[in-house]
Amino acid sequence: MTGNLHTLPSASGHTRLRNLRAEAPSASGARFWSFGGTVLKILGLAVFAFLLFGPLANLVLWSVAERWYTPFKLPVSYGTRYWEVVFRPTGDAMSSLMTSVSIACLTVLVALAVSVPAGYALARLKLPWRTALMILFLLPQAFPSVAIYINVARVFYSLGLTGTITGVVLVHAAHGLVYSVWIAAAAFAAVDRDLELAARNIGASPLRTFFTITLPLAMPGIMASAIFVFLESLDEFTGTFFVGVPQVTTLPLLLYNASMGGNYQIASITALILLVPSVLFMIVIERFLKADVLSKVGQ
Amino acid sequence: MGPVNAPVAAAIDIDHLQVSYGSQQVLHGVSLTVQPGEFIAILGSSGCGKTTLLRTIAGFQKASGGAIRLFGRDVVAMPPEKRGMAMMFQSYALWPHMTVLGNVGYGLRLRGVGKDEIRARVAGVLKMLNLSGLEDRKVTNLSGGQRQRVALGRALAIEPDILLLDEPLSNLDAKVRIQLRSEIKALQNRLGFTAIHVTHDREEAMTMADRIVVMDAGRIAQMGTPKEVFDRPNSPFVASFMGAENTIHLDVRSNSAGVEVQAGPGPSIRWDGEVPVGPVTAYFRDDVASLDAPDARRDGSIVLPGTITQRTYPGGHYRYVVAIGDRHFTVTDDDYHELDRPVGLRLPLASLHLFPSESKGENHA
């Protein structure tokens, strides 16, 4: 895949580009220059597209390559054998996918259990150490993660949490809390105070007001934070590696093991599977994160 | 409105209410009694504490001293949901995730009313507000006037004894505002609730209220019927707030039959009205002044000589700016006059609000 910068991921794009390059030198004079400009633009676009889609195309190629070795620029033989291996119900990939998704879901639950009350408190109450608290949730992201996770693993070991789903979920939740708390605080802050007061005024208790007015109105922001936490958990590697191995194998760990073991087909397919939720969520998240919420993040 | 010393408990009885934000005191002991069915307007410029007073009555703001009694029951320590009133907000405060039905029926749902009955009662409220058939509309798809009507419906659906209005009309177009003004007033007459309306719009307060409370810097400056407050302001502040923003300095000397009033170097006028003696400042609205001959002498009026410096025709009559010394006054007259013509500005003493000059009313000069 390297060496030829003009290669496009699709075969048709590849040939079209080659035709253009073949025509360009045959033209002459002004026509040559205007044509040259067009070619340059197309080349620029091609480079851009390659940088974006090249690695992805490589993944796709690897996932369907049954045999591919050094002198050849393209796989020697194609097939879906490895897809079958991955999607075999008894295979490692499916079980680690299940592990990954359940860990991600549990992480979301844990993070929400903290971020909904914490976000509401940060948005509504006049807390004396508000900024310090906000920064506290940022801490797990602020230090070198390996150093932190080695220590976390040591503490968890003494608590009997290493190698358990609970341990991994806790690590992921701590990691995701910065998103969920900050976004939830912004989502609650974006709910107009008068809307709550209007409910209290005509007889709703504080709890009832929270569940019928505040929470539904903050829900889009909270959904966005849940999505971020879910994706973070799905992709998380370092913490899982130090706390979960060897009993808990998530998709990123499987990917790591497969690529370390030279099994690029399995690694590529795993990577593609990991890509699906990210792409899906990125499409929907734009609907949840409104400008009025975004403008309040971190305030 | 109702008799002042009625045997029934007052709808709202506020007794030396104090509110502070941190170390800054916003209300300095406000006392106010509102009879059942009365419509009170609290009028004041921004920052005078009128909204704080309303929010303290509603329970959104904690009082630091004093009492609030609703029908004899002290509510000063009660949370807002226990106080049994309803409020209209300047921002409408409609819940965007609910339909019109959801918004108006919310209070009924809280009170455990059945689904069908909620629908029926909400339909009744919407009919009263000319919103029939909009039950399932999203509130975000309504115009400003419709939104504020829905907010009124939400407040009225729980049949409150007391309705609080926090500048609910100030975000609306002039036309809708005037229309809603009379609708709210008509509904109040029909349903008989007690209303407290906070506004900075003098005309709105005058047209809607039975009684006006003018507030200044966390205190009540004056209370009374619109006519009392308008015609007999008790301080320079109230006078200028009610539109008497022009000032002139006069000298008042007592004599045997009454007083003699003198403006500057001109002749003195005998008068028998009740006025303070000594140097006084007179406050008056543009519309009490009229044009006269520069040397005219009228009983009960002072005439100040000046010249016309500007003339406009806003329709129906001419509007002139008259310069007297270095002061300028606006006056309307039916007739056409040339610029630079010497005229007299005639001010009937009965329409002037006179206060001793030492008062802080100098600020308004």
Rg of the Cα atoms in chain B: 25
CA distance B46 to B199: 9
Structure tokens at B99: 């339909």
Omega within 30 of 0 (cis) for the link into B233: no
State ipTM.
Answer: 0.82
**Phi, psi of B249, rounded to the nearest 5 degrees:** -95, 135
Q: What is the pLDDT of residues A10-41, one digit of tens each?
A: 444 444 444 444 444 555 677 777 888 888 88
**Quick check: helix, strand or coil at residue B311?**
strand
CA distance A227 to chain B (A): 21
Which helix (DSSP H) or strand (DSSP E) does residue B123 occupy? helix B115-128
Q: Is the pLDDT of residue A60 over 90?
A: no
Question: What are the Cα distances from residue B348, in Å, to B234, B251, B264, B291, B357?
Answer: 19, 15, 16, 12, 19
CA distance B170 to B204: 10
CA distance B125 to B290: 50
From first to last of its 365 residues, chain B has per-residue pLDDT tens of: 444 554 568 899 999 999 998 889 999 999 999 999 999 999 998 888 899 999 999 999 999 999 999 998 899 889 999 998 999 999 999 999 999 999 999 999 999 999 999 999 999 999 988 888 888 999 988 988 899 999 999 999 999 999 999 998 888 888 888 888 988 999 999 999 999 999 998 999 999 999 999 999 999 999 999 999 999 999 999 998 898 888 888 888 887 777 888 777 667 777 777 778 888 888 998 888 888 888 878 878 888 888 999 999 988 899 999 998 888 898 888 888 888 888 888 988 888 898 888 644 444 43
Contact status, residue B34 vs residue B190, Cβ threshold 8 Å: no
Residues of chain A found within 8 Å of residue B22, distances taken between Cβ atoms: none
Q: Is the Cα torsion angle B124, B130, B134, B140 positive or negative in sign?
A: negative
- Whether the CB of A128 is below 8 Å from some CB of chain B: the reply is no
**Quick check: helix, strand or coil at residue B29?**
strand
CA distance B95 to chain A (A): 6
CA distance B311 to A203: 58
- Whether the CB of A207 is below 8 Å from some CB of chain B: the reply is no
Enumerate the domain spans of chain A: 11-79, 92-294
* Inter-chain residue contact A199 with B106, CB threshold 8 Å: yes
- Whether the CB of A216 is below 8 Å from some CB of chain B: the reply is yes
**Quick check: helix, strand or coil at residue B350?**
helix
| Residue of chain B whose Cα is closest to the Cα of A218 | B97
Contact status, residue B95 vs residue A195, Cβ threshold 8 Å: yes
> Which one of A202, A205, A212 has the shortest CB-CB distance to B158?
A202
DSSP per-residue letters across B237-296? HHHHHTT--EEEEEEEEE-SSSEEEE-TTS-EEEE-S----EEEEEEE-GGG-EEE-TT-
**Quick check: helix, strand or coil at residue A27?**
coil
* Inter-chain residue contact A194 with B91, CB threshold 8 Å: yes
* Inter-chain residue contact A203 with B85, CB threshold 8 Å: no
Q: What is the pLDDT of residues A237-291, one digit of tens each?
A: 888 888 887 788 888 888 888 878 777 888 888 888 888 888 888 777 777 777 6
In chain A, alpha helices (H): 11-23, 29-64, 81-87, 92-124, 130-142, 145-159, 165-189, 193-201, 206-209, 215-235, 238-244, 251-260, 264-288, 291-294
* Nearest CA among B39, B31, B76 for reference residue B57: B76
Q: Could you say which DSSP state residue B142 is in?
A: S
Q: Is the pLDDT of residue A9 over 80?
A: no
Residues of chain B found within 8 Å of residue A202, distances taken between Cβ atoms: 81, 86, 106-107, 110, 154-155, 158, 160
CA distance A136 to chain B (A): 28
Residues of B with CB under 8 A from a CB of A: 58-60, 79-81, 84-87, 89, 91, 93-97, 106-107, 110-111, 151, 154-155, 158, 160
- Whether the CB of A200 is below 8 Å from some CB of chain B: the reply is yes
Q: What is the pLDDT of residue A26?
A: 52
CA distance B243 to B43: 13
CA distance B13 to B29: 13
The CATH code of domain A92-294 reads: 1.10.3720.10
| Residue of chain A whose Cα is closest to the Cα of B153 | A202
* Nearest CA among B160, B211, B295, B288 for reference residue B41: B211
CA distance B315 to chain A (A): 43
- Whether the CB of A211 is below 8 Å from some CB of chain B: the reply is no
Say how far residue A180 (Cα) sits from the centre of its chain: 14
Contact status, residue B264 vs residue B326, Cβ threshold 8 Å: no
Which helix (DSSP H) or strand (DSSP E) does residue B231 occupy? helix B226-231
* Inter-chain residue contact A198 with B93, CB threshold 8 Å: yes
Structure tokens at B207: 């047209």
* Inter-chain residue contact A200 with B81, CB threshold 8 Å: yes
**Quick check: helix, strand or coil at residue B25?**
strand
Query: Which of A191, A194, A202 would you mutate first to test chain B, the one with the most B CBs within 10 A?
Result: A202
* Inter-chain residue contact A203 with B81, CB threshold 8 Å: yes
CB atoms within 10 A of CB B250: 23
Query: Which of A192, A193, A200, A201 would you mutate first to test chain B, the one with the most B CBs within 10 A?
Result: A201
Q: What is the pLDDT of residues A204-236, one digit of tens each?
A: 999 999 999 999 999 988 988 898 899 889 888
CA distance B226 to B239: 13
Contact status, residue A225 vs residue A239, Cβ threshold 8 Å: no
Task: Name all domains of chain B by residue range, CATH numbers in brackets.
Answer: 12-240 (3.40.50.300), 243-364 (2.40.50.140)
Mean pLDDT of A60-69: 79
Q: What is the pLDDT of residues A143-200, one digit of tens each?
A: 888 888 888 889 998 998 888 889 999 999 988 888 888 889 989 998 999 999 999 9
CA distance B338 to chain A (A): 56
